[in-house]
Amino acid sequence: MKYNGTHLFQKIYDYAIHRIESGEWKAHDKLPSVRSMAEKMKVHRLTVLKAYQLLKDQKKIYVKDRSGYFVRPEGLQTIDPSDNPIVSSFLYKNHLSEIHQIEVDYQFSKALINPNLLPNHFFAEFLKDVLLKEPEMIGTYSSLEGDLELREQLAAFFAEQSDIHVHSDELLICSGSQSMISLVAQTFLKRGDMVLLERPSYSMAIDVFLREGAQVETVDISPTGYDMEEIEEKMKQHRPKIFYLNPTFQNPTGYTVPSKQRKQLVELAEKYPCLILEDDTQYDMYFEQKPPAPVFAYDTEGYVIYLRSYSKYICPGLRIAVAACRYPLMKHLKIAKSLADNGVPLVNQKMFLPYFFSERMQLHIEKLRIALAVRKELMEAELAHSNWRWQSPDGGLNLWIQLPDRLPVDKLLSLALKNSISFVPGEICDPLKENRSWIRLSYSFVSESKIQSGVSKLLELAKEIET
């Protein structure tokens, strides 16, 4: 991220406050000197001084003449973080969930599958049988890495379906891929480390990396993928610890990175040692053609952590996802997972296993692809009456749309919410928070009939603003 003066100051403030709040810096501990902090964080000394001054004004630290700054005993507990604009905007922010919490009739902000598109009744019947056959599973913990049978079957399935060749020991079952993004960030990053993100990117991943105190650099993603020279330049110059990417039907854009670039990415990760976190949550949601093999398929040296989630389109109630990586990385991930939750509930895994591999389930995925393609086409047909621009995706759940210059996103969003329509403003998907002209419209949650009426209403509101 190109920090301007304000951002730099917030970075220092954020760094210190996290340490105080987490207890890493205890009461009466001495803070790093202004000079050493400025050198460490590569900022001017005045910036550090300004941040320390604010901490002092807020009674989180105190000064001893000539000795420096120290943590005040009461620290943060006396202050409600939501009262402080810097704390509330930089600690534990989840921009997407704030929008999702707004109740509206037309939910174009939720990139979730409408529950009516999932075979819930069939699944309920199925669950009863599984439970009755193996009731002892309720009284048993799962192993840390996840049920062996499930991992073995997933390994075989990956080899057949996605050119991924893994041993069951290279798989770790997790509860939704979001938990794994967070765990990877916690495990492999230190505050101030550099992370490379696609621009735009999945909003809840951006928020995870910011929460960890990462510095952020970006590379644009376009309908043809990345500019590989730009990536190499950024890796060379900034030495990011992690490159987080979502290369298949990317959220929010729907763009897919081509095979050649996937292969080159692994080469770059090896050349400038950088961990690639490949988030492949939408892999199965293609409309016609299967997407290219994942980046992970090219990883022989252990630079990629691959995430595949089944929480969205199989059964959100079970939230099964899986992480794949080679041994040295897996060792660290397992330790981190043991400290975080010690494994996913066994019942969820045992129920997922036969259901996922059943014929009915595979049929369901086929039907779901068609249902999503129809919804996408309905939305595009309605949008064709506007001068909005987008690239039609080959899979996924969203349209990434550029609005005309004279239609400000914030005005449209506020008018839309008043009229019970929500969507995601592009700004929250932008790690640099500068994007002012794009929006994400999801077609997966709203019913077919509501897609037409909702988009038509939204276009009318846009006209109101433009005229």
Ligand X SMILES: Cc1ncc(COP(=O)(O)O)c(C=O)c1O
Which of 309, 422, 435, 444 touches ligand X (CB under 6 A)?
309
Tracing tokens 């066994």 back to the chain, one arrives at 346
Which of 202, 243, 355, 356 touches ligand X (CB under 6 A)?
202
- How many residues touch ligand X (CB under 6 A)? 13
Residues forming a β-bridge with 144: none
In sequence order, the 6+-apart residues with CB closer than 8 A to the CB of 199 are: 218, 219, 220, 221, 430, 431, 432
In sequence order, the 6+-apart residues with CB closer than 8 A to the CB of 43 are: 8, 11, 12
Q: Which helix (H) or strand (E) holds 64?
A: strand 61-64
**What is the amino acid identity at position 335?**
I
Span from 127-135, 225-233, 307-315, 372-380 in contact with ligand X (CB under 6 A)? 307-315
Compute the radius of gyration of the chain from its Cα atoms: 24
Span from 2-10, 136-144, 176-184, 216-224 in contact with ligand X (CB under 6 A)? 176-184
Under the binding rule (CB under 6 A), the answer on residue 311 touching ligand X is: yes
Structure tokens at 234: 């950024």
Under the binding rule (CB under 6 A), the answer on residue 114 touching ligand X is: no
In this structure, are residues 26 and 19 in contact, taking their beta carbons and an 8 Å threshold? no
Under the binding rule (CB under 6 A), the answer on residue 321 touching ligand X is: yes
* Residues from 261 through 300 that contact ligand X (CB under 6 A): 279, 281
Q: Which helix (H) or strand (E) holds 324?
A: strand 320-324
DSSP string, 356-370: HTSHHHHHHHHHHHH
Which of 60, 234, 241, 312 touches ligand X (CB under 6 A)?
312
Span from 164-172, 173-181, 293-301, 435-443 in contact with ligand X (CB under 6 A)? 173-181
Under the binding rule (CB under 6 A), the answer on residue 209 touching ligand X is: no
Under the binding rule (CB under 6 A), the answer on residue 150 touching ligand X is: no
Span from 3-11, 156-164, 215-223, 306-314 in contact with ligand X (CB under 6 A)? 306-314
Rounded Cα distance between 9 and 20, Å, is 17
Our CB check for ligand X shows the closer of 43 and 315 to be 315
Under the binding rule (CB under 6 A), the answer on residue 177 touching ligand X is: yes
Which of 176, 225, 425, 431 touches ligand X (CB under 6 A)?
176
- Applying CB under 6 A, which residues contact ligand X? 111, 176-178, 202, 246, 251, 279, 281, 309, 311-312, 321
